[in-house]
Amino acid sequence: MQNFSRRSGSSGLVGQPGDPRPPEAARISGALVLVLVVVVAHAVGTAFGGWAILDENYGKREHGQDLIMPMGLARFVAWFCWALAALQVACVVLAGRRRPWVRVVLAVCLAFVACSTLLAFVGSLASGAPSPAVLLVFGIDGAALWVVLGETARRWFSVRGPAPTSPQG
C-alpha cells in the first residue's frame, strides 16, 4: 500500500503540483445549505401567494363582492411574486457555480422577504392578533440574511479561492 501522507518534492497537500491525486471538490457549508432551503421555501410561498391573490380577486368578482385590490394591480402583484419566486429558485440552482452576483441577489431577496415578514408581524399586532409564527419566520429570515452576508457565504461565492496566508516557496 502506498503512503500519500508525505512525498518527496511535494508538500503532501491535495492539489499541489506533482501530486497524482485529484483536488477535492469544495463542499458547501451546512449553514448555507439551510439558507438555500429557506430560500426555496420562500419561493414556493411567494409563488403560491401570487396565485392566491388572483384566485381571491376572481372569486370575489364572480360573487359580486368588492375586490381586495383592483384587478390590474392584482395581476401586477401576482406577476411580481412569480418573477421573485423564479429568481429565488434560479439563485438556488446557480449557487453551486459560486458566482458573487448570486450572493448579492440572494441577500436582496432575503432582505425583501425579511422586511415583508416584519411588516406582516406589525400588521398582526395592529389587528390585535399577534402572530408568533410570523415572528419566528422573521427570525429565520434574519438568520439566513446574516449567513448570506457573512464570511461563510463570502468565501463560497468568491470566484477566486481565499488569499494565501503564508508565502509559498
pLDDT in tens, 67-92: 888 999 999 999 999 999 999 999 99
CA-based max dimension of the chain = 84
Give the pLDDT confidence score for residue 158 in this predicted structure: 86
User: Measured between alpha carbons, how far is 137 from 113 in angstroms, rounded to an integer?
Assistant: 10
User: Measured between alpha carbons, how far is 91 from 152 in angstroms, rounded to an integer?
Assistant: 17
pLDDT > 90? residue 153? yes
User: Measured between alpha carbons, how far is 144 from 30 in angstroms, rounded to an integer?
Assistant: 12
Give the pLDDT confidence score for residue 56 in this predicted structure: 92
Least confident of 65-69, 105-109, 153-157, 158-162: 158-162
User: Measured between alpha carbons, how far is 154 from 157 in angstroms, rounded to an integer?
Assistant: 5
